[in-house]
Amino acid sequence: MKFYTFGISAFFVGIAGSLYAHYITFIDPSSFTLWQLIPVITIVIIGGLGSLKGTVIATIILVLLPEPLRFIGFPSSIIGPARQIIYALLLLLILLYKPRGFFGKVELE
């Protein structure tokens, strides 16, 4: 089961990578930094390890969570760091109080 899950995940990551490359028309290793990986890690951990439903719900929440900041009138120099602070606080709180995430499952051998 894990092998199939890994294969399906790799397939979708490949599709996403090719669409991203087509969108920006140029790829180099500096295009993918740690700051772009932090939201992805936050989504997976908050959603729950081993839970597809939790990951989808966490994606919706974390994409929509910072959007009200755009309409409040904060300058863009504050919104970017505020988003990173929100992700960091959510990640720390979830890791402290619910280490397997909201919908995390116990791994079966």
Domain boundaries, the chain: 1-32, 33-109
Q: Given this model, what pLDDT does residue 109 score?
A: 44
Per residue in 31-60, pLDDT (tens digit) is 778 877 878 888 888 888 777 788 888 888
- Kind and range of the H or E element at 104? none
* Chain segment 50-98, per-residue pLDDT in tens: 777 888 888 888 888 777 777 777 777 777 787 778 778 888 888 888 8
Q: Identify the burial level of 55 via C-beta atoms within 10 angstroms of its C-beta, where 0-12 means exposed, 13-18 middle and 19 or more buried.
A: buried
Give the pLDDT confidence score for residue 106 in this predicted structure: 54
Q: Assign 3-class secondary structure to 23-84.
A: HHCCCCHHHCCHHHHHHHHHHHHHHCCCCHHHHHHHHHHHHHCCHHHHHHCCCHHHHHHHHH
Predicted TM-score of the model (pTM) = 0.62
